[in-house]
Structure 1
Amino acid sequence: MTSRVVRSRRDTAIGLVPTAIMLFPVYWMVNVSLTRQQDMRKDPPDLLPLHPTFTGYRAVLHDQLPYLGTSLLIGLGTVALTLLLAAPAGYALAKLRPPGSGVLGVLLLIAQMIPGIVMAMGFYGIFLNLGVLNRWWGLVVADSTIAVPFGAMIFAAFMSGIPDELLSAATIDGAGRVRTFWSVVLPVSRNAIVTVSLFSFLWSWSDFVFANTLDGGGDARPITLGIYHYIGNNNQEWNAIMATAVVASVPAAVLLVLAQRYVAAGVTAGAVKN
C-alpha cells in the first residue's frame, strides 16, 4: 500500500469525525421524530427507534401544510424581490461605477452587521404605524433587507469579472445600458443568480425573529411559527415537533444538493483577478 493511499485514507477518517459530529443533531432529529411519546423520557434514551411511529408525520401532514405553503410563498417572494433589487445594484457597482460606489459598498457591509432583532423592532414600529402587521408580504420585505446587501455584493463580485469587451460589443450593436444588462449581463450571471436565490430562500425559510415579531398573530404564519402548535405549558409533542423540523428541512436540503456547483462558482467569483 503506497504512502499516498495511506494518507488519503487517514485524511478521510479524520474528515469523517467532524462530519459525524455535525450531522449527529440531524440524526437525532430524525430519531426523535420516529419515537413514541411514552418513550421520550427513557433513561438512557434509545439510539435507534426500536418501536418507530409515524404519528408525528401524520400530524405534520394534517396541521402544518398551510404553514409550509406560507413559508414557500414568503421564500419565493423574497427571492423575487432580492433579485429585482440586487442584480441591478451589483451591475451598477461592478460596471457603471457611479460616484460614491465605494462608500455604498462599505454601507452594504455595515448593513449585514446590524443584528436582526434591532431591525425587527424597527420594522415593528413602521408596520404598526402603517397597519400592515401580520401580512406575509411584510415578511418578504423584512427578509429582503438581509438578502439584498448580500446579493448586491455577490452580483458585484461576479459581474466585475465579465469582460468589458463583451459590453462594448453590445454597445456597438446599439444596445443601451438596460438592454445590455438584460440581454448580456444577466444570461452570463447564472451562477450568481442561483447563489443569491438560494441564500435568499434559505434565510426567509428559516427566519424566526422577523416572523415572531411581525406575524405572530396572523392566520398565514410560516413554518417556523407553526411548530409552536405542538408546544404547550404542560405538554410538548416532541415527535411531532421533530417531524415538522424534518419535513421543513427537506426543501432546503434538496435545493442545496441541486445548486451546490452553482453556489461554489458564484461565491468564489471575483476572488481572483487576472
Structure 2
Amino acid sequence: MNGMATTTPAVSAHAAGRPAENKPKRRWGAMIAGIVILCVMLFPLYWMVNTALQPESGLLEVDPVPHSLDFSGFGDAFREQGGHLLTSLGVALGAVVICLLFSAPAAYGLAQFKLRGTKTVVFGTLITQMVPGIVIANALYSAYVDLGLVNSYAGLMLADASLGIPFAIVLMRSFMVAIPREVIEAAEVDGAGRFRTFVQVVLPMSRNSLITAGLFSFLYAWSDFMFALTLNTTDDVKPITLGIYQYIGAHVGDWGSVMSAAVLSAIPAAVLLVLSQKYIAAGITGGSVK
C-alpha cells in the first residue's frame, strides 16, 4: 500500500508537467503560423510597391528586389490621377458626414428608447448589407435620372453613404446600449432636453464608435467602384477607383506607372488606419461589455 501511495503522486506530477512542456511548442507554432499568414497577406502589397519603384518593364521582368529605384512612375501617375484622388477624398469625406448624420440619431433611438419592434429593425438593417451592390446601383440610377443627380458629387456622396449607414447604426447602437441609463437621467434632471443630452452627453461618450463608424464609411466610399461606374456617364466626377480602371487600359505595358497609381490610391486609407487603430479597437469592443 505504501508503494502505491508513493508512486501515484509521482506519476500525477509527471502527467501534470506535460501540458507545461507543450506550451512553448504551441506558442512557437502559433507564432510561425501567424508569420506565414502575414507574409502571404503582405506579399501583394510588397509586389505592388516593388513594381512601382522599378524602371519601366513588363510584369514578368520585375526583379524580386529592386536594384535601382525609379520614382518616375509616381510622377506620371500623380499628374494623371491627382485630380481623381481629390475627387475621391471629397466624395469620401462627404459620405462620412452624411453617414454619421443619419446613423448616430438612429442608433441612439434604437438604443435608449424601448420601442416595440426594435430587434426587428436592427435585424432588417443587417439584412440590407446582404443586398448586392449592382441591384442598389441600378435602382439608384433610375431614381437619379429623375432627380438630376447623375454625374454629381452629391449623388455619389449619397450613394456611398448608403453603404456605411447600416453598419454604423448597428455598431453605434451596441455602444450606446452600454451607456448607463443613470447618466441620461442625470442630464435630463439638470434641464437638458433629449437633443441636448444626445449632443453633449451621448456623442462624447460614443466617440470611439463614431470614429470607427466614420472610418469604415470612409473606406467604403474610397474603395467604391460600382457606384462610380454606374452613376457617372462623363468625366466630370471620376473617383480614383474609376480613374485607375481607365488608367490600366491606357498603360497596359507600363506596369510601373499602373502600380504607382495603385500605391498612391492606397496611401490615404493606410494613413487613416494607422492613426485611428486604437479607436477602432475600442469602438468595436466597447459595446460588448456593459
Please indicate the TM-score interval, normalised by the length of the shorter structure. over 0.9
Which structure is larger by alpha-carbon Rg, 1 or 2? 2
Corresponding residue of 1:12 = 31
Matches of 2:94 and 2:60 in 1, distance apart? Answer: 41
Structure 2 residue corresponding to 1:164, chosen from 168, 181, 190: 181
After superposition, the Cα gap between the structure-2 partners of 1:263 and 1:161, relative to the gap in structure 1 and judged at 3 Å, is: same
Deviations 1:2-59 (A, max 9, x none): 97666544432221000000000000111111233334343xx421223432221011
SS of the residue corresponding to residue 179 of structure 1 reads: helix
Percent identity between the aligned chains? 45
Paired residue for 1:203? 220
Name the aligned partner's letter for residue 271 of structure 1.
Answer: S
* 2:235 is the counterpart of 1:218: yes
Do the aligned residues in 2 keep the contact of 1:230 with 1:237 (CA within 8 Å)?
no
Q: 1:35 to 1:209 in 2, by over 3 A?
A: same
Q: Structure 1 stretch 261-270 or stretch 45-54: which is displaced more?
A: 45-54
Q: 1:38 to 1:218 in 2, by over 3 A?
A: closer
Kept in 2, the 8 Å contact 1:32–1:242? The answer is yes
Pair 209,137 (structure 1): closer, same or farther in 2 beyond 3 Å: same
Q: 2:73 maps to what in 1?
A: 56
Instruction: Provide the C-alpha distance between the structure 2 equivalents of 1:69 and 1:235, rounded to a whole number of angstroms.
Output: 24
Distance 1:154 1:8, change over 3 A: same
Q: How does 1:70-109 map to 2 (within 5 A)?
A: 70-109=87-126
Structure 2 distance, partners of 1:61, 1:122, is 34
Are 1:24 and 2:37 matched, yes or no? no
**Counterparts of 1:1-274 in structure 2 under 5 Å?**
7-42=26-61, 45-232=62-249, 235-273=252-290
Structure 1 unaligned blocks of 5 or more: none
Structure 2: how far apart are the matches of 1:232 and 1:245? 14
Cα gap change, 1:170 to 1:233, in 2 (>3 Å): closer
Please report the RMSD computed on the Cα atoms of aligned residues, expressed in angstroms: 1.9
Q: Number of aligned residue pairs: give it.
A: 270
TM-score (structure 1 length as normaliser): 0.92
TM-score (norm 2): 0.87
Structure 2 gap segments, 5+ residues each: 1-20
Task: Report if aligned partners of 1:207, 1:224 keep a CA contact under 8 Å in 2.
Answer: yes
Q: Which amino acid aligns with 1:18?
A: I
- How far did residue 132 of structure 1 move? 1.9
- Structure 1 distance, partners of 2:81, 2:162, is 27
Deviation at 1:209, TM superposition (A): 0.6
